[in-house]
Structure 1
Amino acid sequence: MKIIVTGSLGNISKPLTVSLVAKGHDVTVISSDAAKATAITDLGARPAIGSLEDAAFLVQTFAGADAVYCMIPFSMTEPDQFGYFARTAGNYVQAITSNHIKRVINLSGWAAEVIKDQNTESFFNQLSGVAVTHLRPGTFYTNFYNFIGMIKSHGMIMSNYGGDDLVAFVAPEDIADVVVEELETPATAGIKIRYVASEELTCNEAAHIIGTAIGKPDLQWPALPPEQVQEGMERMGMPKELAAILVAMLAAVHAGEVQKKYFENRPVLGKRKLKDFAAIFAAAY
């Protein structure tokens, strides 16, 4: 099968590419960084260097593909996040439609059902005669890397959710495994929702696992006021609108709204647990 993978060599896309190539698929990886071309080739895939905001590039790159894995990265420079999401999703839809592609995997998030006006699923739902799977993964293990500076300077993890809030955490590699499974499973036209998680833990439990790995078993993860968290994000250079989106998503987790939808569609948990990731995190810490 000829498959297009977006997301360059990111946390999901790299293991996904490795797995698909190993299974004999013809894989093209889209990246905006020309310096990644050699690394993509070394994995046995074909690099396509260009921007997701370039509709003509996507139409050309998607030509002849049987399936595509679509993700839209957050932009740390775009002040109009909604406009950016809409443009990029619209470009995907144009490229999929123009090339009559019948299988699409879209990376969404586990808060998508709650924060409906801030996700892009609706754009892909417009596709006719296409089998679309929206993946709704929980909180990535790799997000803990963003807390390294905070732990070192403040001795704790800080967000506007925490404490005994229950979170579905996920290893990016487990997401990649689900993408492969979806691509290799026959599907009929229509929309499918699939949640993805590796382990369900409270923030306190997660903090203890991460803390133990770095010699801080009493590491705390308190839930702070949303306004304080957004102010901190903006102070670190995050665009105001993106900070507001993230804070709203985390607030929905703290309120239990996201978990309600998740447990209504509870998935079989992946095989990679936070304790396994914690050892990798400790090396980076």
Structure 2
Amino acid sequence: MKITISGSLGNIGKPLLKKLVASGHEVTVISSSSDRSEAIEALGGKSAIGSVSDAIFLEKAFTDADAVYVMTPPNMGGSNILANMTEAGNAFANAIKKSGVKRVVMLSSIGADLPNGTGPIAGLYNIEKIYETLENTSITFLRAGFFFTNFYHDVPMIKGAGIIGANYPASTVIPYVHPEDIAATVAEELEKTGSGINVRYIVSDVRTPGDAAKVLGEAIGKPELPWVEFTDEQSLNGMAQAGLPEEIAGLYTEMGTGLRSGAIAGDFLKNKTAVYGKIKLEDFAKEFVSNF
């Protein structure tokens, strides 16, 4: 198959490219950086350098592809984040339509069933709705759990203050996922034919932040590492002090409130969807300690 994937050689794109090439597919990788071309080609792919907001570029990258994998970066600029995400979604949709691609796998998120109250995830809700208007295209919305790798953002807090936390309690039930499991599922979905619009959740483990603090703490030699629930104001101020633009900090704070209320994980938990991922929290802890 001829397959085009977005996301460059990120946490998902790199293992995905390796899996697809190993399966004998001809893979084009979209990247915004020309510096990535050599690495993409070294892994057996072909590079397409351009912006995911450029529908003309995307149409060219999608032309003749049997299937495409699309993902929209969550932080598109320091302001107008949701509008920028939605604009990129429109560019992808127009390119899919004009290029005639018949099979699309879109990386979405838990909580993308909700129009608001979910922070940056609301942009994915908008994009799902745009894709639903595409005709004669088989689409899978791959709604991923909360990335295990997001815990790397907490390393400075752990090292500096000896705590880990966010604006939701230790008892919050959260579906987590590892990028490797996402890559494996994307590869599987791209090879399907299918029809219409389908939603598939990809989750590696369902745990609580309290579990994460305990397991990660033990892995790094801090068995008493506490999970601290911050107020929304503390969360917002902390991210601002860390240098995040105000709008991004506000969106992440709102995402925390959505996790705290249970709204973001609600659809997944309500439907008792299967946990397909193989990499559990304890497995990720070994990776975490090597990068701590």
Q: Answer yes or no: is the 8 Å Cα contact 2:103–2:193 preserved in 1.
A: no
Q: Which amino acid aligns with 1:181?
A: E
Q: Which runs of 5+ in 2 are unaligned?
A: 117-121
- Provide the alpha-carbon RMSD of the alignment: 1.4
Q: Distance in 2 between matches of 1:225 and 1:181?
A: 41
SS in 2 for 1:158: strand
| Partner AA of 1:130 in structure 2 | T
Maintained 8 Å contact 1:76/1:239: no
In the alignment, structure 1 residue 130 sits paired with structure 2 residue 140: no
**SS of the residue 1:111 aligns to:** coil
Q: Contact conserved, 2:76 with 2:85, CA < 8 A, in 1?
A: no
Q: Deviations over 1:161-212 (max 9, x none)?
A: 2311111111111111111111122201x21111111111111111111111
Shift of 1:74: 2.3
Q: Quick one: structure 1 residues 229 and 6, their matched pair in 2 at CA, closer, same or farther if it must change by over 3 Å?
A: same
- 1:9-88 residue pairs with structure 2 within 5 A? 9-75=9-75, 77-88=77-88
Match of 2:108 in 1: 108
For the residues of structure 1 that align with 2:61 and 2:276, how far apart are their CA atoms? 34
Corresponding letter in the other structure for 1:192: N
The runs of at least 4 aligned residues of structure 1 exceeding 4 Å deviation read none
Paired letter, 2:74? F
Does 1:171 pair with 2:184?
no
Shift of 1:242: 2.3
2:119 corresponding residue in structure 1: none
Hey, what does 1:145 align to over in structure 2?
A: 152
Alpha-carbon separation, structure 1, partners of 2:44 and 2:52: 22
Indicate if the aligned counterparts of 1:78 and 1:84 stay in contact, CA closer than 8 A: no
Q: CA deviation at 1:280?
A: 1.4
Name the SS for the 1:57 alignment partner. helix
Shift in Å, 1:76: 6.1
CA distance in 1: counterparts of 2:254 and 2:283, whole angstroms = 29
Contact 2:138–2:193 (CA under 8 A) maintained in structure 1: no
Which of residues 112, 118, 123 in structure 2 aligns to 1:118?
Answer: 123
Report how far residue 115 of structure 1 moved: 4.3
Count residues with an aligned counterpart.
Answer: 284
SS in 1 for 2:86: helix
1: CA distance, partners of 2:214 / 2:173: 14
Q: SS where residue 222 of structure 1 aligns? A: strand
Structure 1 residues 178 and 246, CA gap change in structure 2 (3 angstroms): same
3-state secondary structure, aligned to 2:68: strand
Amino acid at match of 1:84: N
| Structure 1 unaligned regions, length at least 5 | none
Whether contact under 8 Å (2:66, 2:102) holds in the other structure is yes
TM-score with structure 1 length normalisation?
0.95
Could you say what secondary structure the match of 1:282 adopts?
Answer: helix
Which residue number corresponds to residue 231 of structure 1?
237
Cα distance change, pair 82–76 in 1 and its aligned pair in 2 (3 A): closer
How far apart are residue 81 of structure 1 and its match?
A: 0.7
TM-superposition CA deviations, 1:1-43 (whole Å, max 9, x none) = 1111100001111111110110011100011111111110111
